[in-house]
Structure 1
Amino acid sequence: MNYGMILYILGWILNFEAAFLTLPCLVAVLYQEQDGFSFLGVAVLCLVIGLIFSHKKPANTSLYAREGFVIVSAGWIVMSAFGALPFVLNGDIPSYVDALFETISGFTTTGASILADVEALSKASLFWRSFTHWIGGMGVFVFILAILPLVGGFNMNLMKAESPGPSVGKLVPRVRNTAMILYGIYFIITVVEFVLLVAAGMTAFDAITHTFGTVGTGGFGTHSDSLAGFSPAIQNIVTVFMILSGVNFGAYFLIIHKKPRQVLKMEEVRMYLGIILASALLIAFNVRDMFGSWGETLRHAFFQVGSIITTTGFATVDFDLWPQFSKTILIILMFVGACAGSTGGGIKVSRITILLKTIKKELRMISHPRSVKKIAMDGHRIEHEVVRSTNVFIAVYFLVFFTSVLLLGMDELDFTTNFTAVAATLNNIGPGLELVGPTQNFSIFSAPAKFVLMFDMLAGRLELFPMLLLFAPSSWKKY
């Protein structure tokens, strides 16, 4: 284990977090709030510690997969631990455990909240709360790699550890250029949505905070009723950008390079859009008597389907009041998630596709034992290693899931609440059902239960294994 490089990169994380924390300071100045001092104080603290760790690059810059996974998981924990401090210092969230829950929920783009009255927060806190979504959406390490060539030829291990999906590749030969392209696309989508929301009647502050929550697929907003109080036009814009943010960003790279036909050949994208269309139409038919017109019904159906499958977590209605059939579809979508290489969470459509192809192959082999059938995706053969890693991921996923549900049972809350609370946090969605429904919050859980859910949020965002490796003694051995 290269401890020198671990501390060096953690130092750079704190340096960047110090820079990020200056933005809510500017918001506080703009709205003449005293809360800016709490963000400024934490920014100075992050900068001092960050400079101590990063002032000198270690002689040994080797960074292999083990270090990459440990650095990423430790980095997200450190970033959240410091990012929670302003909420405590300014009194918006007096309990550090609650502030840490809110901050981890922000950085992991989960959107689960312990707040009952969001409007009571200062503008600076509301901005920071939503801005954490934007930082965590694409990933802070991807951002750092786009700015600084930190670790030479070893930086792909950082991107693999942080990027969501069963496989991570380079869009262009250099990893740094790949990171820059990804953030460039991310920034363009952010700007376009912000402009459209302002044009549709949102204030600039509401537009930027909700854009952060949409593009980062997080779900934090500025109102306790989420997006229910905004116009249909605004809701439709958010629906479109939630769905766009759930698409593999590699598809946008192909579109930019004038290769749209290759996008149409991407099975994962076709499957993702097909699931959204089918789910929304089924739900719309099921809830048709709850709304005044088919237009309104389709708007809410597509919004909630887009919100859940992309793991954004915004809401326009209390879907906990919908019929069981519709709620069941939404729960299934919680597990499916968005595309690999997007800002969304969940198991990912690509893994579901590979799993279905594997099942189909096994059924054919039972019927025709001597047949030789290879699994392919987008016209390319899927290697056995990818199939194996997908099966292992899903097995570990459900092991973590049911262990978390079991641990939450100690709080003596109802099963639906516990089950959907874990589904909402492990899949980085936000709202669940019953006591954690879209009009409720997570403050009902005890401190130990909140730590379980915080682990689930981090594990879900980092694809399980980086967090699990922290508990493996072999991960900390020196070379």
Structure 2
Amino acid sequence: MIHFKAIFKVMGGLLMLLALSMMPCIAFSLYYDSGDEFPLVISTLISGIVGATLFFSFASQDQNIRKREGYLIVALSWVFMTIFGLLPYLFSGSIPNFSDAVFETISGFTTTGATILEDIESIPKGVLLWRSMTQWIGGLGIIVLTVAIFPLLGIGGIELFVAESSGPKPDKLHPRIQETAKRLWILYVGLTLLLIAIYFLLGMSFFDSVNHSLTTMATGGFSTKNDSMAHFTDPSIQYTAIFFMFLAGTNFTLIYLGLTGKFKKVWSSDEFRAYFMSVSLTVLAVAVGVYSVTDVHWEKAFRDSLFQIVSLVTTTGYVTADYTSYNSGLTIIFFMLLFTGACAGSTSGGIKFIRHLTFVKNSTLEFKRIVHPRAVIPLKINGERVNGRVITHIFTFLLVYLMIFVLGSIVMSIAGYDLLTSFGAVATSLGNVGPAIGRVGPMDNFAFFSPFAKLFLSFLMLLGRLELFTILVLFTPFFWRAN
């Protein structure tokens, strides 16, 4: 039997956290006199009151959270956060349409970065900060934040952590899951504050520095400017964004090890080496291509290539150039990057390099097994043998991911959109990237989609952010059967 009362208590705690995270937006609204403080106050009060009511109504409930409750809590948390997170958009009139508000909010919390806003710079500053804040909250995951901030809930934190991280499990920094979550968030907050200072010193306004730091570290890609990062033409700002996007796409455990001077352990990670080498080789190849088909100088060709590649691989979604304007060959390369994702244990979305690496290594070993059928040739990652169950899980994930991409593209095509736009919209939503190809290229937005298409793509964003199984398992009959 599923303990729904215990689940509702956790939802109450999440909504109280949501209300707290809206408060800085009220302060910014008052400081800049942007006129949206009242909608933000109302949204904060509603979220706080509903959250407190749920939390204290079920305060005495047994908090023995099992795996099934863990999956439900993760899935419902994103639903609750979306419903209450869209209130500032509706109450301020910034996004008066419900389906648009749902799309923008889920795009924020899932750090996808796709937007329906056609004039971002006209949005009041308080709401604009909330838009960036949704990505920052979603960066390392709402549940990880909850486990770190609300140990008083008394829930089995490991079940929530496992449910949200449904892929290959990242190494722990500490044997206690709450301590691990706290250290990850301290690192996350520290890097965000550092980036705010750097952006500001390089010439961004304080408001732009705060917003872009929140969305850079979250690998989200929401910007305060209509032209995204292309608005900031200073190469030093763009190179800074590149470095921190790449850093945010790295397993945070490795960042922690690097900061403590354990560089050998960082480079010994097979996934990190694959991530670093793949990005480096792709940048060199694409930069040569961009330089050959445009009239820009070499440094800009290199910078534009580096920026777009790192942005897409880490699923950040910032843009400084229209990569679909080069030629069809380069466009295909950029489209393929929508299916990569950076490292497991990072803030990026997508498939992740660890899955690609496992697939490539096992496929290579399969040729050896064909030649030597009697030999036992195990697959090893980071020097450790990978058991068959993990390999099966990864291969199943890749197959299901491909099936959802194909079926999603068919649905979008039936809904009336051309093939390139359907492919691009589904790939970028499922991979939590932002820009794609077709009518959703780097210079476009998602405003033209029908309400059905926006809600469908919103579901794909959520499905991709929670790495498929956390959501799909809820649709299986055996999940709901009593033990």
2:67 pairs with one of 65, 68, 89 = 65
- The whole-number CA distance in structure 1 between the counterparts of 2:145 and 2:102 is 22
Q: What is aligned with 2:284?
A: 281
Task: Give the alignment partner of residue 457 of structure 2, picking from 442, 453, 458.
Answer: 453
Q: Which residue identity is paired with 2:220? A: G
Q: 1:233 to 1:29 in 2, by over 3 A?
A: same
**Corresponding residue of 1:320:** 324
1:159 counterpart SS class: helix
Report the 3-state secondary structure (helix = DSSP H, G, I; strand = E; otherwise coil) of the residue aligned with 2:230: coil
Report Cα offsets for 1:72-126 as digits up to 9, x if no partner: 0110111011111111111111101101100100000000011111111111111
Mapped contact 2:323–2:334 kept (Cα < 8 A): no
Secondary structure (helix, strand or coil) at the match of 1:287 reads: helix
Deviation for aligned residue 1:257: 3.4
Instruction: Name the structure 2 match of 1:89.
Output: 91
Deviation at 1:167, TM superposition (A): 1.6
Matched, 1:385 2:385: no
Shift of 1:477: 4.7
Query: Which residues of 2 match residues 417-428 of structure 1 at below 5 A?
Result: 417-428=421-432
Aligned length in residues: 479
Per the alignment, in what secondary structure is the counterpart of residue 231 of structure 2?
Answer: coil
Tell me which residue corresponds to 1:122. Answer: 124
Aligned partner of 2:3: which letter? N
Alignment of 1:30-109 (within 5 A): 30-55=31-56, 56-109=58-111
Q: Which residue of the partner structure matches residue 175 of structure 2?
A: 173
1:159 maps to what in 2?
161
Report if aligned partners of 1:70, 1:469 keep a CA contact under 8 Å in 2. Answer: no
Within 1, Cα distance between the matches of 2:288 and 2:26? 47
2:63 touches 2:155 (CA, 8 Å); kept in 1? no
Higher deviation after alignment, 41-50 or 248-257? 248-257
In the other structure, the counterpart of 1:18 is 19
**Residue deviations 1:432-451 (CA, integer Å, cap 9, x gap):** 11210111111121111111
Deviations 1:374-421 (A, max 9, x none): 000111111111111101111111122212111111222211111011
Q: Deviations over 1:226-271 (max 9, x none)?
A: 1112111111110111011000011022223332111110010010
Task: Find the residue that maps to 2:101 and give its secondary structure.
Answer: helix
1:11-410 correspondence runs (5 A) = 11-55=12-56, 56-150=58-152, 152=154, 154-163=156-165, 165-230=167-232, 231-289=234-292, 290-410=294-414
**Amino acid of the structure 1 residue aligned with 2:475:** F
439-448 or 161-170, larger mean C-alpha shift:
161-170
CA–CA distance in structure 1, aligned partners of residues 28 and 162 of structure 2: 34
Q: For 1:240 and 1:389, locate their aligned partners in 2 and report how far apart those are by CA, in whole Å.
A: 32
Q: CA deviation at 1:291?
A: 4.2
Structure 2 unaligned blocks of 5 or more = none
Native 8 Å contact 1:105 1:111 kept in 2: yes
Cα RMSD after superposing both structures = 1.4
Q: Whole-Å Cα distance in 1 between the matches of residues 470 and 439 of structure 2?
A: 30
Match of 1:433 among 428, 434, 437: 437
For 1:287 and 1:447, the matched residues in 2 are separated by: 37
Is the alpha carbon distance of 1:25 and 1:164 closer, same or farther for their aligned partners in structure 2, counting shifts above 3 Å? Answer: farther
C-alpha distance in structure 2 between counterparts of 1:34 and 1:195, whole Å: 27
Q: How far apart are 1:33 and its partner, in Å?
A: 2.5
Quote the Cα distance in structure 2 between the aligned partners of 1:251 and 1:81: 35
Q: State the Cα distance separating 1:22 from its structure 2 match.
A: 1.3
Deviates more, 1:161-170 or 1:436-445: 161-170
Higher mean C-alpha deviation, range 148-157 or range 270-279: 148-157
SS at match of 1:315: coil
Q: TM-score, normalised by structure 2?
A: 0.96
Q: CA deviation at 1:322?
A: 1.8
Does the CA contact (< 8 Å) of 1:103 and 1:129 recur in 2?
A: yes
In 2, Cα distance between equivalents of 1:374 and 1:58: 49
- Rate the CA distance shift 1:83–1:116 in 2: closer, same or farther, 3 A: same
Is this contact kept in 2: 1:334–1:427, CA < 8 A?
Answer: yes
